Structure 1
Amino acid sequence: METIGFIGTGVMGKSMASHLLKAGYPLLVYNRTRSKAEELVEMGAKWEQSVANLAAQADVVITMVGYPKDVEELYLGENGILANAGKGTYVIDMTTSSPTLAKKIYEAAKTKGIHALDAPVSGGDIGAREARLAIMVGGNVEDFEAMKPIFSRMGTNIVWQGEAGAGQHTKMCNQIAIASNMIGVCEAIAYAKKAGLDPERVLQSISTGAAGSWSLSNLAPRMIAGNFEPGFYVKHFIKDMQIALQSAKEMGLWTPGLELAKSLYDRLAAEGFEECGTQALFKLLDK
């Protein structure tokens, strides 16, 4: 089986990498904070001291980090992945990042005989833990087919979207849909409380009808319980929305719902909740 190098073992990455270990893949791991990878090391993964060491030994390198600037440094930096990976290596960025950057990495990898895919995911911490992520892939279809057995260990809805950058563009569609929906979910639960209703009973009625959504079924119960721990960080959602706004602007597309959601999340972050989960938007309304 291919030796896989996994960089970024945070809330999502740790669960994703664990499924690869359980499937029997030899796994190398690296994270800026080593303590976040200790559980994987105890499970049998090998810790690498640097990105360069990991890239030089792996047949497949998967990254799941925070921001586009992190992705760019990891792949295109002097001591990064492309500078150290061997010809024929597959590199897969599963971070939600810039479509433009995904194309840039693909072109740089191509000159070195390296296969690059952009493959962002959706499904949150629950989907990562249960290996039920939606995986949206951009790049050569032949490379997608070669990596599909690996993707299948982490997700269930795995779709090739098109050329390099198409995976990231698809993730922007996903985040745009979520952004306005999250406002509606938070307002609905706040309204239920203000009207003197039992929010759990309200959720029981509305979650299976036309109002149903992943956010309503999975995040509204957390709002009701006062659980604002991150399945997906507010700070990372703001990053995603900013990428989507910039991409939409470049295409000449007006996205008023996305603009409103971004403004509300900026306000939430300014009030000190950027390390909370996205369901913490409820805090702005439940006052």
Structure 2
Amino acid sequence: MTQPTVGFIGVGVMGEPICRHIATKSGAPVIASDPNAEPLKRLAAHGVRAVGLDELTAQADIVFLSLPSGEVMKQVVMAPGGLAGRLSRGKTIVDLSTSSVDVTLEVARHLEEKGIHFADAPVMRTRAAAEAGTLAVPVGGSPEVFERIEPFIRAFASDVTHAGNVSAGQVVKILNNMVLYETVLALSEAAAIGRRAGVQPDVLFQAFSTGSADSFALRNHGMKAIAPQLFPEKAFPVSYARKDISYAVALGEQVNVDPTGARNLLDTLQKAIDAGHGDKYAPAISLLFESSPLPA
């Protein structure tokens, strides 16, 4: 059976390693397009051929998108000259970006009218997981579309869940990030309080890891970022976290649940952006608490 040709748009921080894994593990020919030539040059060593959008949409049977936001994804698909007007009937788009449920459903409906299949498959876990090919991916799409794309997703993910119909993947990803960063907020508060009360964050977090406060957030965001105060740029930044949490708040409002914790987190993320930390790794929200005035 002939393998479908895979197209990939957006080979940035997460997209580059994902594209590389598909090219080296799936057995399918992979073509890619991105305004930045550097990652395309690196991917060429792994068999990925750089092409323009015309060639990509003419040749690719399945097109993966790894883009900064749902709004960018919508533009790439629906704007004049976008994918919706270029791809032929029967082809498939897979959105790896984190997009709002509303945008996801709008794009899916638009594509359905043109006979183009769509799935949302936002990626979870870190850039290190993307490099290792061990991402977690919840997928929203019909069973038929999921069956078609699952082998390619498993090339870069160790955990793949068919969450339901279109938009279900985004629901899972958005709520995953809501819970994760509410935990990061709690760790940020605990670190600042503990430090001022005489217990250093590294000691505090090590003790947490032996008790009921242990978590992925503690061991990764707490121990590796908040305790040593390391918040590099070109990691998942505060501004991206704010985008994801705004999606969670909007989703809560749509289903008539007041997401009080997420609202508080959203306010904290905005304060961090206002303080100049928007491009830093998202646990940099802890800087707000470290810099608060000491008691008189």
Measured against the shorter chain, the TM-score band is over 0.9
Q: Is the Cα–Cα contact under 8 Å of residues 277 and 284 in structure 2 kept in the other structure? A: yes
Shift of 1:279: 1.2
CA deviation digits over 1:149-186, x for unaligned, max 9?
11111112211111111111222211221231111111
Q: Secondary structure at the match of 1:191?
A: helix
Q: Secondary structure at the match of 2:137?
A: strand
Q: Secondary structure at the match of 2:187?
A: helix
Aligned pair 1:277/2:281, yes or no?
A: yes
Shift of 1:28: 1.3
1:84-233 maps to which residues of 2 (within 5 A)? 84-220=86-222, 221-229=224-232, 230-233=234-237
C-alpha distance in 1 between matches for 2:75 and 2:284: 31
1:228-247 maps to which residues of 2 (within 5 A)? 228-229=231-232, 230-247=234-251
- Aligned equivalent of 1:248: 252
- Aligned equivalent of 1:25: 28
Shift of 1:68: 1.9
- Aligned equivalent of 1:37: 40
Deviates more, 1:196-205 or 1:62-71: 196-205
Q: Secondary structure at the match of 1:228?
A: coil
Shift of 1:198: 4.2
C-alpha distance in 2 between matches for 1:198 and 1:267: 25
Q: Is the Cα–Cα contact under 8 Å of residues 7 and 31 in structure 2 kept in the other structure? A: yes
C-alpha distance in 2 between matches for 1:114 and 1:104: 13
Q: Is the Cα–Cα contact under 8 Å of residues 176 and 241 in structure 1 kept in the other structure? A: yes
CA deviation digits over 1:177-208, x for unaligned, max 9?
12311111112222333333343333222124
Q: State the number of aligned residues.
A: 286
CA deviation digits over 1:32-53, x for unaligned, max 9?
3333433223433111233x43
Shift of 1:273: 1.4
TM-score (norm 1): 0.93
C-alpha distance in 1 between matches for 2:39 and 2:228: 27
The two structures, once aligned, show a CA RMSD in angstroms of 1.8
Residue identity in the other structure for 1:207: S
C-alpha distance in 1 between matches for 2:24 and 2:14: 16
In structure 2, the CA distance between the partners of 1:37 and 1:190, relative to structure 1 (3 Å rule), is farther
Shift of 1:54: 1.6
Aligned pair 1:267/2:271, yes or no?
A: yes
Q: Is the Cα–Cα contact under 8 Å of residues 117 and 145 in structure 2 kept in the other structure? A: yes
CA deviation digits over 1:76-118, x for unaligned, max 9?
1222112112222221001100112212222222233222101
C-alpha distance in 2 between matches for 1:203 and 1:153: 34
Residue identity in the other structure for 1:54: L
Shift of 1:262: 0.6
Shift of 1:269: 0.8
Q: Secondary structure at the match of 1:121?
A: coil
Q: Secondary structure at the match of 2:227?
A: helix
C-alpha distance in 2 between matches for 1:17 and 1:195: 47
Q: Work out which of the residue numbers 51, 68, 71 in structure 1 matches 2:70.
A: 68
TM-score (norm 2): 0.90
Q: Is the Cα–Cα contact under 8 Å of residues 7 and 32 in structure 2 kept in the other structure? A: yes
C-alpha distance in 2 between matches for 1:119 and 1:281: 27
C-alpha distance in 2 between matches for 1:199 and 1:244: 29
Whose radius of gyration is greater, 1 or 2? 2
